[in-house]
Amino acid sequence: MSAHIAVLTNPSAGKGRAAHASDAAIERLRAAGADVRAYAGASPEDTTRLAALALEEGPTALVVIGGDGTLSGILQVATASSVPIVFVAAGTGNDFARALGLPLEDPGDAAMLALNGRPRVVDVGEVRSGGTNRLFLTIAALGFDAKVTDRTDRLRWPRGRLRYYLALLIELVRLSPMAFRLSLDGEPERDAPGTLIAVGNTASYGGGMPICVGAEPDDGLLDVVQVQALGRLRLLRVFPRLLQGSHLTLPEVAYRRARTVTVSEPDLVVYADGERVATKECTIAVRAAALTVMVPDP
């Protein structure tokens, strides 16, 4: 019997790239003889519902086509199942695919991991806040970078990358130290004023910015990077080091690994996998070995 492969697509991901990637992936799988059953979500809620429906059918693998946010949005149902995930990255950042060495150029190659890949068990991050639990795959951002993302989402003009740069400029003008209260692995809370905190399951966010350089998605730990309170000029000087992944040696940067991180701050905004997931306070934890993903053979 041919393998039963479920293909779940978020057609709007990557400004429509996911829809084209889905066609290529399905065509490639069917040409290889797979029994493909396709699903396309019309909204995040619909995508989650369809993921659960697809998994109930007991496929050999669930192919998810979209951005990091698409996959993180179905993690509650995906981690409750033993069906491995095949991720076809078709978003704007694709940091999770980059961390696992998944094919980025050819969606057909990525989809074929359902038939010729090997399983890799990876960790999943969890943000608990206000009675809600949100799962993520890459990095939870708290502070200046999260505020820039939040500002970008709220701006209606200009379009494209210029909107991000405008948001960056606005938040740079508004820059002031954040009064973080921080606790790692149950230690007593302490004052930790700073510019930003990044809690990473993988190394990069924002399409390859290695803020948590060296983070591994299967070590059972979260990488915690804290940048101390910086003035505008110093932040502009430090920022290129963040882009290059050479910032961990700077005196203004603290780095640790932990299983749980609790942070609070009156103006706190938390983004994970590009989605707003919490405000004011949160506890970030790791769910070790929570998800199986098909990856290329070494």
**Which residues are tagged catalytic?**
275
> 46: which residues sit within 8 A by CB, 6+ positions away?
none
Q: How far apart are CA 220 and CA 122, in angstroms?
A: 8
3-state secondary structure of 40: strand
CA 260 from centre of chain: 18
Tokens (6 digits) for 6: 């479920």
Q: Residue 29: which residues within 8 A CB-CB, separation 6 or more?
A: 5, 7, 36, 63, 111, 112, 114, 115
Residue 151's closest CA among 140, 173, 166? 166
- Beta partners for 143? 196
Q: Which amino acid, one-letter code, is at 214?
A: G
How many Cβ atoms from other residues are within 10 Å of residue 85's Cβ? Answer: 24
Query: What is the C-alpha to C-alpha distance for residues 115 and 29, in angstroms, rounded to an integer?
Result: 8
Instruction: Report the candidate in 292, 280, 74 with the shortest Cα–Cα distance to residue 179.
Output: 280
